[in-house]
Structure formats: structure tokens, C-alpha cells
Amino acid sequence: MAWRMEEVGGVFIQMEDEIASLGAVIGASWAGTKAMTATSGPGFSLMQENIGYAAMTETPCVIVDVQRAGPSTGQATRPAQGDVMQARWGSHGDYEVIALAPWSVQEMFDLTVRAFNLAERFRVPVILLADELVGHLRENLHVPEEVEVFDREKGLDKPPFGGAEDEVPPMPSFGEGAKLLVTGSTHDEWGYRRTACPVTHERLVRRLSRKVLAHAEEIIEVEEYYLEDAEILVVAYGFTARSALAAVQEARRRGHKAGLLRLKTIWPFPGELLGELGSRASCRRVVVPEMNLGQLVCEVERYLPREMVHPYNRVTGEAIPPGEILGAICEGDRREGWRRRGDDGGDQAHGCGAG
């Protein structure tokens, strides 16, 4: 990045820690640039105060979090999906962020572009919530000649923190003539502190949430596989969704009517779509595989009867192989023919179980 940013007229800054890194990103954004930073779980924890500040000040920024096994130092180079709820609720108070979950090298590129566009469109922090397996993948990448770029509205003569309940206000930059006041305290539409006014605080906080939630259909992206007649619905994201797709395809070959809902957008959560899929007469079970002890499954249970929902969790610092998800789909069907590479480098038959 230090070399490549210079090639395109960009700036690379090495800060002393993750707290300062996101602080620099926020300052750069208010100076009128598109700015980002990247980290893994522990650094993401350090950024939470500034993520809350960015949400309150409506600062467009992009944070790449390549999740690795925790808590604390954990397994520093092993994969996990343990930051799902931290991405949503890491800072205090009521606010909304957008979090995208890539499953390939191509999507690391494509969704980074989309993350910047969403950040500029809605003036929010946008998190690219990858995992270590995706972060270390080596795959072909197509870089298009041009990409769609959204630029924020400036509006020098308009209030930078006002508007209707679901409105995104304009954002002038420092040095352009606007009389800017930027504070993490409760403020009115012009940025003046109003910390003792309950009406101002409620209006502000509701708009910070509504400007994202009211446009959820514009933000949420999913991919659907074999859902037309699915009796077993698998909900997955990130690298785990690759294993889930292979498992669903094998289950189909064995006569099990399985389907996959892959979440490219985790927050805002596509709850209405999930509720509609789960309410279909054909759907009798929902399997949620995750490289954690069960995080997104809690959100799934908000929209579906809990007895339908079956988590499948792994916290070994290893990927969930397709055969294990197949076992959760097939409920005890033996996985003859499924192979995985053993620790000794040889192929070993991997028995099928429901978990």
C-alpha cells in the first residue's frame, strides 16, 4: 500500500496504533478525501471509540477487518468469524453501520469499492468484514478499467447534520468556506452542542438509524442458490459460505432439497427476506454454520421460530469443511465419497455426522 498509493496520487500514513489510524481516517474524510484503514480483530476493538465518533459525526470511512481467532491475542494467524456482533454493537449508544462479507479475492476488490460508495452515500462507517481465509486466498482477480464512484454532496449553504428523519445531509469539507462545527456530543443540524436537550438528542439518534434502515433495500445484497424448493435452508457468509455451497450442491446430488442464502451484506441484516424464506411451506429447517460459537444465528432466530434454527459452530482456528456442513444438512447421512486432506497430507475419509 505504501508503494501503490503513491502511484495513484494517494497518501499512505503509518500511525502509532489502531486508535490513531481511524482518527487519521476521520480527519482525512473531513478534509474531503476518501479514506480507509485495515486491521484484524484486536485492532478493530481499539477502533470502536472512533467508530462511534464517526457514526455520530456522520463521517464516511471504510474499515477492513480481517477476522482472526480470539479472544485477545488468540490465534493470530488462524481464521474465525468472531467479530460479527462487534461490527454491529462495538461502540456504545444507538447507531447504524454497514458491514459487507466477501467470500473471494474478487469480492475483496469489488466490495471495497462498494464500501466506499455506501460510506459516501449514507455518511456512515462501512466495515468490510472478511476473515483470515479470504484474506490469504490466492485467486484470479479482474480489475475493471472503470468502477462506479459515488461522491458526497457538498451543500455549503445547507445544514451538515440536519434534514428529515431518513435523510442524509450534505457534507462540506474543511477549507471550502462552510462554517463547520464537528462534535461527538449531541448537536443540532448546524453542529452546535445541545447536550441538555432531549428533543435534539432523540431527533439526531433516530435519524442516524433511519438514514440507513429506511434504505435497507438499496444496501442489502444476498445471493440465493437452489431456494425455489428448499426444505433445508443454509444461511452463511464469508469463507464459510464457500463450504456451504459445496455442501448444498452435494446434498442436492443425494436427493436432499437444500438451498443456500449467502449474505454479502450482514448489517443491516436481511431479516425480512429471511423471514419470508423461512415461512415457505417447504422450509422445515435452517442451518447456520459459523466459525464462532454462534453470533449471526442469534439474529436469524429473531426472524424465525427457534426450533427451526440449527447452528453449526467451529472455533478450532480452521475452516469448516463442506463435509461437516453436509452432515448438518443430512442429519446423520454418511458421507461416503467425501474426502478431506488429513494432517499427514493424505486423503482420509471423513465420516458424516449431524455435528
- CA distance to 44, 50, 114, 161, 168, per residue, from 110 (Å): 22, 25, 6, 30, 24
Cα(313)–Cα(298) distance, integer angstroms = 13
| Structural domains of the chain in order of their starting residue, each with its CATH number | 1-219 (3.40.50.970), 223-315 (3.40.50.920)
Q: Is the pLDDT at 335 greater than 70, yes or no?
A: no
Q: Which helix (H) or strand (E) holds 115?
A: helix 105-122
Contact status, residue 54 vs residue 22, Cβ threshold 8 Å: yes
Backbone dihedral region for residue 66 (phi beyond 0: left; psi -120 to 50: alpha; all else: beta)? beta
Residue pLDDT, tens place only, 128-168: 999 999 999 999 999 999 999 999 999 888 999 988 888 89
Cα(153)–Cα(149) distance, integer angstroms = 13
Query: What pTM, to 2 d.p., does this model score?
Result: 0.91
Task: Provide the pLDDT for residue 1.
Answer: 87
Residue pLDDT, tens place only, 225-237: 999 999 999 999 9
* First-to-last C-alpha distance (Å) of the chain: 42
How many C-beta neighbours within 10 Å does residue 154 have?
Answer: 15
Residue pLDDT, tens place only, 90-104: 999 999 999 999 999
Phi and psi at 324, nearest 5°, equal: -70, -40
Q: What is the largest CA-CA distance in the chain?
A: 70
Contact status, residue 298 vs residue 311, Cβ threshold 8 Å: no
Task: Provide the pLDDT for residue 165.
Answer: 80
* pLDDT mean over 276-301: 94
Residue whose C-alpha is closest to residue 130's, from 194, 76, 64, 179: 64
